């Protein structure tokens, strides 16, 4: 199982040290770029869910491509 944690910078080193002491836990720090990419994907997935539920209006793919 993978878990993504959002930890304040001043507490991160302590939490990473604690996690590294468990033999069955692998902890590695994400770069800011990767963390932002994951956050963007989470937001996109939430938007898709809202569109499918009819709580948010989507835009047609052709319109999206024309904007690019």
pLDDT of residue 6: 87
Q: Please say whether the dihedral angle defined by the alpha carbons of residues 62, 64, 66 and 68, taken in this order, is positive or negative.
A: negative
* Residue 11 predicted with pLDDT over 90: yes
Q: pTM value? A: 0.62
CA distance 49 to 34: 23
Share of the chain above pLDDT 70, in %: 100
Phi and psi for 5 in degrees, rounded to 5? Answer: -110, 140
């Amino acid at each position: 199982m993978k878990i993504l944690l959002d930890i304040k910078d001043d507490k991160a080193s302590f939490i990473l040290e604690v996690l590294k002491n468990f033999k069955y836990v692998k902890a590695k720090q994400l770069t800011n770029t990767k963390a932002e990419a994951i956050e963007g994907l989470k937001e996109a997935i939430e938007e898709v869910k809202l569109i499918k539920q009819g709580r948010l209006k989507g835009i047609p793919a052709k319109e999206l491509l024309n904007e690019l």
